[in-house]
């Protein structure tokens, strides 16, 4: 399990809800799911789509482990 040390992880968007600004990513290495919200997004004006490849950090919160600084992977095609 990551200790929240700022290491970037690769994964993909499982779902993203426009109304709540919350979503879920699955980590490529561990296959674990992590929730995130618009406060944890690198570009809050961007809306994620299912299946997009992303990079993210993992942070321990009072609600468990969450993804933060979620951003599109650089190799994503437009």
pLDDT tens digits, 14-73: 999 988 889 999 999 999 999 999 876 777 667 899 999 999 999 999 999 999 999 999
Residue 2 has pLDDT above 50, yes or no: no
Residue 75 has pLDDT above 70, yes or no: no
Tokens of 69: 């600084």
Residue 12 has pLDDT above 50, yes or no: yes
- pTM beyond 0.85, yes or no: no
- What CATH number is given to the structural domain containing 38? 2.40.50.140
The residue segments making up the domain with residue 16 are 9-71
Residue 4: inside a domain: no
Tokens of 78: 């437009």
Residue 29: inside a domain: yes
Tokens of 31: 């296959």
Q: How many separate domains does the chain show?
A: 1
Tokens of 21: 């600004």
DSSP 39: G
* Contact between residue 45 and residue 59 where contact means Cβ atoms under 8 Å apart: no
């Amino acid at each position: 399990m990551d200790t929240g040390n700022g290491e970037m992880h690769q994964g993909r968007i499982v779902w993203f809800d426009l109304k709540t600004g919350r979503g879920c990513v699955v980590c490529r290495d561990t296959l674990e799911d992590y929730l995130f919200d618009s406060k944890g997004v690198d570009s809050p004006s961007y809306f994620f789509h299912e299946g997009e490849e992303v990079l993210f950090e993992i942070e321990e919160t009072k609600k468990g482990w969450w993804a933060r600084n979620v951003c599109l992977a650089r190799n994503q095609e437009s």
